[in-house]
Amino acid sequence: MTGAPEFSRRTLLVAASAGTLALTGCTSFSDSDPADEVTAAQVDQLAGQVTAQEALVAAYTAAFAASPELAAQAAGLAEQCSDQLARLRAAAPGAPGPATGTPPAAPPGDPRATLRAAVAATAASHAAACPDFSGARAALLGSLAAGLRGQERLLA
Amino acid sequence: MSADVLAADDGPDPDAARAEEDAALQDALAAAHAAIWGHGVLGGALPEADRPVVVAGEEAHRDVRDRVAGLLRSRGLQPAAPRAGYRLPFPVLSPVDAAALGVVLEDGVAAAWVTVLGRAVERATRELAVTVLGATELRAVDWRTRAGRSPVTEAFPGL
């Protein structure tokens, strides 16, 4: 496999009566796995999910500009969000590169509440898109949605 | 060229793909059994005030267990049974230990459901998986917080 993003996947192994709880295993995108094939429509849909995640990264930037306190508290969440974007771009054939341009304006109202709403909306978007895919891309979108739900909880 | 020389390529074997989904669901069911058992340990190690959290988590895992078992039965399969016993990954001697065990349980369930997502051929199965995965991560965030972990969120739960 060349140029394909890899990710580890832990699997809970439930052993027998003398067993133990252990985490192991891995998987990756595959050029030969039919489950990882995408249609033209799915390529477009993945590009849309990339755009949604880019908007969330921008929302973090805007919220942090409006609230230095929030920036100090939630820098790790923004970093995770950027990591998600990188993985999503790698999973999206033909996805555009990183967006450039002026940073978004500070959102009106409470930056934390605005950011939380953006996180929730992006989580819902990835969760809704997830069942439209199969294989590693379904796994990735589902995981991203879950990760963002965790962020939403923390921003509450 | 004779058609007998080369095997026909009829695309992926649907029966094999369905078997992979069923196997992943069995693993997710096994993870639910383990989580239910583990919540018994959590309940014994946490103060009474935390009991609602434990009960809610256990009920959530029981609901998933029942749903997956029913799904497998509807496909003519025998659902995986709980093990006779489990061994803890570390001693659970304090509330912090219990929270750490809660993280292990939820992370294990998350990994199992990500596997389901990766192997499912049925859209309805993926819809179930993404729902369960999200709920699992919410509980994991709570346990990581209680365990004093940092960060308490994960970018890629289950992967």
Tell me the shortest Cα–Cα distance from B44 to chain A, in angstroms.
19
More confident site: A1 or A55? A55
Calculate mean pLDDT across residues B98-110. Answer: 98
Portion of chain B with pLDDT greater than 90, in percent: 89
Asked, for residue A96, whether it belongs to a domain, the answer is yes
Tell me, what's the pLDDT at A94?
Answer: 75
For chain A, the domain total comes to: 1
For chain B, the domain total comes to: 1
B62 C-beta neighbours (distance < 10 Å), count: 15
Pairing relationship of beta strands A21-28 and A6-14 according to DSSP bridges: antiparallel
Asked, for residue B128, whether it belongs to a domain, the answer is yes
Provide the residue range defining the domain that includes B120: 14-79+87-146
Q: Nearest Cβ partner of B86 from A19, A77, A135?
A: A19
More confident site: A12 or A106? A106
Calculate mean pLDDT across residues B130-151. Answer: 97
More confident site: B4 or B116? B116
Structure confidence by residue, pLDDT tens digits, A60-99: 999 999 999 999 999 999 999 999 999 999 998 877 666 6
Asked, for residue B141, whether it belongs to a domain, the answer is yes
More confident site: A21 or B110? B110
Q: Nearest Cβ partner of B114 from A19, A142, A154?
A: A142
Asked, for residue B45, whether it belongs to a domain, the answer is yes
CB-based contact A145 B115, cutoff 8 Å = no
Distance separating alpha carbons of residues A14 and A32, to the nearest angstrom: 30
Asked, for residue A71, whether it belongs to a domain, the answer is yes
CB-based contact B118 A138, cutoff 8 Å = yes
- pLDDT range class, residue B149, cuts 50, 70, 90: very high
CB-based contact B152 A150, cutoff 8 Å = yes
When mean pLDDT is compared over A9-13, A34-38, A119-123, the highest value belongs to A119-123
CATH code of the domain covering residue B29: 1.20.1260.10
Asked, for residue B115, whether it belongs to a domain, the answer is yes
Residue ranges with strand state E in B39-127: none
3-state secondary structure of A28: strand
Calculate mean pLDDT across residues B82-92. Answer: 95
| B133 within 8 A of A130, measured Cβ to Cβ | no
Calculate mean pLDDT across residues A113-135. Answer: 97
Q: Angle, to 10 degrees, between the axis of helix A111-129 and the axis of helix A68-91?
A: 20
Question: Which chain B residue's Cα is nearest to A6?
Answer: B159
Tell me the shortest Cα–Cα distance from B1 to chain A, in angstroms.
26
Residue A62 structure tokens: 């805007």
Asked, for residue A15, whether it belongs to a domain, the answer is no
Distance separating alpha carbons of residues A28 and A36, to the nearest angstrom: 10
Calculate mean pLDDT across residues B22-32. Answer: 98
Structure confidence by residue, pLDDT tens digits, A14-67: 222 223 333 233 335 565 677 777 787 888 899 999 999 999 999 999 999 999
Asked, for residue B2, whether it belongs to a domain, the answer is no
Task: Give the DSSP letter of residue A106.
Answer: P
Residue ranges with strand state E in A29-74: none
Asked, for residue B99, whether it belongs to a domain, the answer is yes
Provide the residue range defining the domain that includes A53: 38-154
Tell me, what's the pLDDT at A96?
Answer: 67
Question: Which chain B residue's Cα is nearest to A32?
Answer: B12
Distance separating alpha carbons of residues A55 and A61, to the nearest angstrom: 10
3-state secondary structure of A23: strand
Residue B39 has pLDDT above 70, yes or no: yes
Asked, for residue A119, whether it belongs to a domain, the answer is yes
Asked, for residue B62, whether it belongs to a domain, the answer is yes
- Specify burial of residue A128 (Cβ count, 10 A radius: 0-12, 13-18, 19+): middle
Structure confidence by residue, pLDDT tens digits, A134-152: 999 999 999 999 999 999 9
Asked, for residue A9, whether it belongs to a domain, the answer is no
Mean per-residue pLDDT of chain B: 94
3-state secondary structure of B35: helix
- pLDDT range class, residue B105, cuts 50, 70, 90: very high
| B25 within 8 A of B65, measured Cβ to Cβ | no
Residue B76 has pLDDT above 50, yes or no: yes
ipTM score here?
Answer: 0.91
Asked, for residue B8, whether it belongs to a domain, the answer is no
Q: Nearest Cβ partner of A12 from B108, B120, B153?
A: B108
- Specify burial of residue A146 (Cβ count, 10 A radius: 0-12, 13-18, 19+): buried
Of A24, A25, A33, the C-alpha closest to A4 is: A33
Q: How many CB pairs under 8 A join A and B?
A: 171
- Specify burial of residue A106 (Cβ count, 10 A radius: 0-12, 13-18, 19+): middle
Asked, for residue A4, whether it belongs to a domain, the answer is no
Half-sphere exposure of A69 (CA within 13 A, CB side): 4
Mutate to test the interface with B, among A8, A10, A14 (most CBs of B within 10 A): A14
Q: Which of A42-56, A110-124, B1-15 has the lowest average pLDDT?
A: B1-15
Q: Nearest Cβ partner of A151 from B107, B150, B153?
A: B153
CB-based contact B111 A23, cutoff 8 Å = yes
Distance separating alpha carbons of residues A12 and A7, to the nearest angstrom: 16
Tell me, what's the pLDDT at A28?
Answer: 57
